Structure 1
Amino acid sequence: MTTSAHPLVTRARRLAAELLVPEAERVDQEGVPASHIAAVKRSGLLGVVAPVAYGGSGAPPAVLRQTAEILAGACCATWFVQTQHHTPVQTLTQSELPVRERLLGPLARGELLSGVAYAHLRSYPRVPVRVRREGGGWRFDGTVPWYTGWGLNDVLLLAGVTDTGEVLFAFAEARDQPGLRASAPMRLAALTAARTVSLELAGLWLPEEAVALRTRYERWAPGDRARTLNAGPAIFGVAEAALSLLDEERAAPLRARLADVRRRAYALADHPVPLERAEERLAVRAQAYELLRTATTAAVVAGGGRSMALTSRAQRLAREALFLLVQGQTAETRTAHLRALTGS
């Protein structure tokens, strides 16, 4: 079976055509509705890479990438809320702790949607969230600067760092509770619709059985770095959506260049040694961003003055492209991207 013929790819296309694309401009202004999340849950897309034994599809990474392209190109805010879910699923898949049996099935089957609160680990050795032993569990204190999907997620995967330099990931209910308070939703230049907040942690206590991962920071960090080196599928999905707003004569050369960069990016993502060819990965990532900028700018130009309306698809895609420039950014990727932009 080719990736394009996979049942989940077909479902993603149907979801995009029947719901996400027609509603995208309204969602951009009003926020991702719970009905969108319910539709994603029903689609089976939340279990795309989850083990079959737990109710998932166990699909290869190529299927996850293609469904992500489709969703991001249709409604980037909805894509961004649901894409958080795949990290908790993969974390539980690799875990041998009791929480796996409690949560992996509901997450794989789409009964629950999970968010993530761990990007702050990338600022280490600065520690925005500290964890320490307390009773038969763990106490979390600090600030999570960014948390997406508040009010839509059922659970969240929260990370912090212990005094001995371990990273600890544990699940909590995604709601205000003793020791956890969410800010008001942030107003952002793009993807305000994804309901992003900051989380204040003041003695949030989670039991031992909530823990999904506990390991040395130095052991966890290389895997996280590997994920940030590659061009993500949302870049290609939003670029393709922008090119669809151009006439074929103008779109064709950009589409050919985009296909070439996508092919090279995904070949690197599938390389058996994730941290090999890091400079090449970063260069291809920068090329993908350049094509994204060109495609979305061309869509705005083609739309003329109409592109300045908040109801304009071209304008929404251009703002989403700005968001993707910094989504998942690290000091390493920022430096490489700036080098590519400035030639220095």
Structure 2
Amino acid sequence: MDCSFLDIAKSFLLEKVAVVASEIDSNPDALFQALRGLGELGLLALRVPCQWGGKEASEESFGDFQELVARYSGALAFLLTQHESAAGMLVASSNSTLQEEYLPRMGNGEVLLGVGFSHLRRGGEPLMTAIPVDGGYLLDGVVPWVTGYNCFHEFIVAATLSNGGAVFGVVPFSDRLVGQERGSITFSLPLELAAMPSTNTVSVSFNGWFLPQECVVFIKPPDWIHENDKKNVLKATFLATGCALAGLDIVEVASLKNLPFITDAFGCLQQELNDCRTAIRDAQQNLLGMTEKLQLRAWAIDLATRIAHAAVTVSSGVANYKHHHAQRVYREALVFTVTGQTSDVMEATLQRLTLRTPPQPSPQAGREEEGFSASRKNQIIHLSHVIDIDIPQWEGDPEVDFDTVAELEKDGYYLRRFSMGEHSATHINAPKSFYLNGVGIDEYPAESLFISAVVIDIRRAAVNADYTLTVGDVLAWEKEHGEMAGGCVVLLYTGWQEKWGDRNAFMNRDGAGNVHFPGFGQDVIQFLVDERQIAGVGIDTHGVDSGLDTTFAINHIVLEKPRIVLENLTNLDKLPSKGIMLAIAPLLLRGGSGSPVGVLALF
């Protein structure tokens, strides 16, 4: 991924934004000019695919960009996030007409879109409702908070349907674009906000507004907003860490006064912020559980407010001036405390502020929930087969070969050379197996290989050698054992491990040469990845894809990110259904598409 846009953005922010950050905070025209400046550089729709004129930035590089903008102007970062959110919704839409009309013009700022859907988080009666009518929907109600009035041309609004779902559609965000024939949309005066008043945040009232079907972005099921918040809990951390960097810049300048206590404070805060930023970036790769993610979010919020407070402290009385940089950064920290806030984020933040959580998330967090405890005696077993020359193999895979190169009697020691394929015996697959620029097995962080697991037993169903796990199977397992925790590995016990000693039985080829063994179904793997946010899968057959699936669909879905895929496991019959920790030890083959692996289970 070409991240040169970060250098371009930094130059623009230093030259055009940092020097007028206080004006951007208070003057809508200055803010909108800064936004248009980013548009002229093509930096307003970074996550949009290249086919629509976007940069197709990775999640990691986009996080870096958000943090960078927030460092130099919180108001600009906040407004930009609304536009990027709208672009992301259009990318996810099945409305190709809207995509063709808007997406190619969003990156350069020719079209600017906002969003108005945070009201879906509120309980009670819906604030916005949608009634299906011929050709579209009638919208009624109030959206209490939409940012970017007189900057964004339109915005994507959400309205609740009678079944609890929500329809999302593009509506005007300007008086001149509102036609009376469609009903009415009215906008309040900009709200009097303590921070970032330049963002022109207004409430919007709808009275019988007709949303035509061609303007519908998508329809989401009930509680979509809450599931979406869980998936995106880390995204707002970059706004907070960017704000923290802004405060740290002020403290660093003050440290030039040669007062040792300021220098010490700067060093301590800088180290903690670096640790927090590193932990957040690691979490993007390692698929932590929800508890750990919430702790990271709370840590970033806590740091932003503490460092902003430190910036006020070292600035002394002048920080009381409305347009002083420390005052602005302090107010921005308050905004980023509640940006995209859910009750879970609120709870985690308060726990952090009242010192009821560890100073930083612990890797052990969440493992006690899965039943693993360092305080009790645990069993440890191998889940890997012994490697020998006659193990079951896919046709065309390299055979296992051992060659003796030193004899004890002759050389004083015994040594063999061995060769085998990267995907032979019990092994782990890496994204490089299926993606040209995928991560190799040597790039997996150590902490991602010590991870919790659950076991789903489908031996009865696997009497049908072509059986694939279903969503119903998962829900039945959860009914008995509780919802599986995010960030775990799902191990599928088919009983195939018992066939390992018989090559023909294990591969189970029919007369036409087709292979038959059970695996994961596409629907269930999408459910596990999207809804349960698992960290990976494992199985006791030669593939997480069923034998008949020659497209490797399951591997493609799971390994879109550097997740865990374990194949040819054994001893799954000795494991409980939950409360398991896996220690996974691959060979760190440089650029490896996978590796034979030793897997230990602790329970």
User: TM-score per shorter chain, which class?
Assistant: over 0.9
Cα deviation, 1:131-177, whole Å, max 9, x if unaligned, reads 11123111111111110011000120111111122211111121132
Counterpart code for 1:334: M
Aligned residue runs from structure 1 range 263-302, under 5 A: 263-272=278-287, 277-302=289-314
Aligned residue runs from structure 1 range 1-344, under 5 A: 6-33=3-30, 34-97=32-95, 98-124=97-123, 126-176=125-175, 177=178, 178=180, 179-219=184-224, 221-228=226-233, 231-247=236-252, 249=263, 250-272=265-287, 277-343=289-355
**What is the total number of aligned residue pairs between the two structures?**
338
Mark the CA change 1:221 to 1:311 in structure 2 (over 3 Å): closer, same or farther: closer
The secondary structure found in structure 1 opposite 2:233 is helix
Kept in 1, the 8 Å contact 2:60–2:284? The answer is no
- Distance in 2 (CA, whole Å) between partners of 1:285 and 1:221 is 16
Counterpart code for 1:150: Y
Kept in 2, the 8 Å contact 1:186–1:197? The answer is yes
Mark the CA change 1:243 to 1:291 in structure 2 (over 3 Å): closer, same or farther: same
Kept in 2, the 8 Å contact 1:73–1:238? The answer is yes
For CA contacts below 8 A with separation 6 or more, give which structure has more relative contact order: 1
Mark the CA change 1:285 to 1:220 in structure 2 (over 3 Å): closer, same or farther: closer
Higher alpha-carbon deviation: 141-150 or 227-236 = 227-236
Mark the CA change 1:142 to 1:299 in structure 2 (over 3 Å): closer, same or farther: same
The match for 2:443 is none
The match for 2:541 is none
- Report how far residue 32 of structure 1 moved: 4.7
Q: TM (normalized to structure 1)?
A: 0.93
The match for 2:566 is none
Kept in 2, the 8 Å contact 1:115–1:148? The answer is yes
Mark the CA change 1:43 to 1:330 in structure 2 (over 3 Å): closer, same or farther: same
Mark the CA change 1:21 to 1:197 in structure 2 (over 3 Å): closer, same or farther: same
Counterpart code for 1:18: E
Give unpaired runs (5+ residues) of structure 2: 256-262, 357-603
Higher alpha-carbon deviation: 20-29 or 219-228 = 219-228
- Report how far residue 220 of structure 1 moved: 5.3
The secondary structure found in structure 2 opposite 1:84 is helix
Cα deviation, 1:242-284, whole Å, max 9, x if unaligned, reads 1111235332221111111111123223445xxx511111112
- Report how far residue 125 of structure 1 moved: 5.2
- Report how far residue 296 of structure 1 moved: 0.8
Counterpart code for 2:338: V
Kept in 2, the 8 Å contact 1:32–1:194? The answer is no
Compare CA radii of gyration and give the structure with the larger one.
Answer: 2
- Report how far residue 124 of structure 1 moved: 4.4
Identity of aligned residues (%): 28
Counterpart code for 2:148: G
The secondary structure found in structure 2 opposite 1:28 is helix
- Distance in 1 (CA, whole Å) between partners of 2:300 and 2:141 is 35
- Report how far residue 343 of structure 1 moved: 4.4
Cα deviation, 1:175-221, whole Å, max 9, x if unaligned, reads 13242111000111111111111111111112100011113124554
Q: Provide the aligned C-alpha RMSD in A.
A: 1.8
The secondary structure found in structure 2 opposite 1:181 is strand
Counterpart code for 1:265: I
The secondary structure found in structure 1 opposite 2:86 is helix
Kept in 2, the 8 Å contact 1:296–1:314? The answer is yes
Q: TM (normalized to structure 2)?
A: 0.54
- Distance in 2 (CA, whole Å) between partners of 1:79 and 1:135 is 40
Mark the CA change 1:120 to 1:51 in structure 2 (over 3 Å): closer, same or farther: same
- Distance in 1 (CA, whole Å) between partners of 2:148 and 2:304 is 25
Kept in 2, the 8 Å contact 1:113–1:155? The answer is yes
Higher helix share: 1
